[in-house]
A and B are shown apart, each in its own frame.
Chain A
Amino acid sequence: DQQVKQNSPSLSVQEGRISILNCDYTNSMFDYFLWYKKYPAEGPTFLISISSIKDKNEDGRFTVFLNKSAKHLSLHIVPSQPGDSAVYFCAASGGYSGAGSYQLTFGKGTKLSVIP
């Protein structure tokens, strides 16, 4: 039973345009969400996170939006650059609620290709 779902295995975007990566979750106990970027044969790199008390968090070109009622979060990258081409993983944890406080549950990833 997948608790964190990334329904788009891949996404192609033109350089300079917006990239929107989506993630859905089913476990209502999740209250801390993260996005990671991963290149082949390397470990994931932390990008940005959001806790359930917020609905938006920004860091430079990256913005994460959280819709708790829909159990949905998204990562916006503006403007997209060729160096952003990678696999992006969404992850969630029970966080402060204590349900598996230290465990992250990952989606299967979305491969983003930014076309010059």
Chain B
Amino acid sequence: DGGITQSPKYLFRKEGQNVTLSCEQNLNHDAMYWYRQDPGQGLRLIYYSQIVNDFQKGDIAEGYSVSREKKESFPLTVTSAQKNPTAFYLCASSGGAWNQPQHFGDGTRLSIL
């Protein structure tokens, strides 16, 4: 089945530690995105990538980094510089045209130990 796979579903981070969240898609989509959701809030864009080896900052990129070495993969690293990392992280992809919806994975919940 085609879809977006995020792993792990739950992740715990110690203070001062970097952690990497995985996102893989087999939809042959060009564009991929990372969002963060906090309780009672909408989704906020962290980073997005329209093609391999290129990515752009979203609204809340500070403390995060990404890479896009393969079309299928868009991992997100939450660095120790992110002071409030506890949140639900969602990865999405789309065909890349302006009128194509984004489709989401099932998310990773990150918590601080």
Query: Which residues in A have some Cβ–Cβ distance to B below 8 Å?
Result: 4, 9, 32, 34, 36, 41-46, 49, 51, 89, 91, 93, 95-96, 101-104, 106-109
Contacts and interface: CB of A to CB of B under 8 A. Distances in A.
A93 B98 contact: yes
A51 to B, nearest CB: 6
Interface residues of B, number: 29
B98 A104 contact: no
Nearest to B104: A43
B106 interface: yes
Contacts of B35: 106
Contacts of B44: 106
30 contacts: A32-B98, A32-B99, A34-B101, A36-B104, A41-B88, A41-B106, A42-B106, A42-B107, A43-B6, A43-B92, A43-B106, A44-B43, A46-B101, A46-B102, A46-B103, A49-B99, A49-B101, A51-B99, A89-B42, A89-B43, A96-B99, A102-B50, A102-B94, A102-B96, A103-B45, A103-B58, A106-B42, A108-B41, A108-B42, A109-B42
